[in-house]
Amino acid sequence: MSKFTFTKTDIEGVMIVEPSVFGDERGYFMETYNEKEFKEAGIDVLFVQDNQSKSVKGVLRGLHFQTRHPQGKLVRVTKGCVFDVAVDIDKDSPTYGKYVGVVLSEENKKQLYLKAGMAHGFYVMSDEAEFVYKCTDFYDPKGEGGVMWNDPEIGIVWPIDEHTPVTLSEKDQKHPLLKDLK
């Protein structure tokens, strides 16, 4: 019996992963990754780096990608709740400029896998959130790239809390629009 449910999305290489959770009065147990089951689902990658971030409500990180060493990612939330987004930025793809957005939380335990070459970002919906992700390549600061989070061509419908201002890093405020990517 599989320990995961893999749901394909409208973008090739972006998949929602739901682990089986085994719980009782003591708490719960779940696998968050299993190489054999991921390969059987078509995710045949080697993860080489794990990252974790903590953010407060209203923080929006992204949309980021790597140009020199593109990273596939398996992302999840261990505390709180975020709206997570993958954007297809491959100009040769039939889904170029499309996005997949999914709520990831400590309660639903969903994960999102996005293949290398996608732009990625998330918005924190809870008071704080801890975000954990596995990467298929090492981070390269010289290969950083980004797309503006509110690009009208992409049209992401972010679940922005009208009472909490969006908080962006200085770098994320300066990303180009999708049409201006080189």
* pLDDT at residue 1, as a whole number: 62
* pLDDT at residue 37, as a whole number: 96
Write down the residue that tokens 């059987």 correspond to: 40
Is pLDDT above 80 for 52? yes
Q: Which domain holds residue 156?
A: 4-180
Which residues lie below 8 Å from residue 124, measured CB to CB, with a gap of 6+? 55, 56, 57, 58, 59, 60, 80, 81, 82
Is the separation of the CB atoms in 105 and 98 below 8 Å? no
CATH number, domain of 102, equals 2.60.120.10
Is pLDDT above 80 for 2? no
Structural domain count, the chain? 1
* pLDDT at residue 34, as a whole number: 96
Q: pLDDT tens-digit profile of 136-147?
A: 999 999 999 999
Is the separation of the CB atoms in 120 and 75 below 8 Å? yes
What single string gives the DSSP state of each residue in 123-176? EE-SSEEEEEEEESS---GGGEEE--TT-TTT-------TTS--B--TTGGGPP
Is pLDDT above 90 for 182? no
Put simply, whether the predicted model's pTM sits higher than 0.85 gets the answer yes
Is pLDDT above 80 for 157? yes
- Give the catalytic positions in this structure: 64, 133
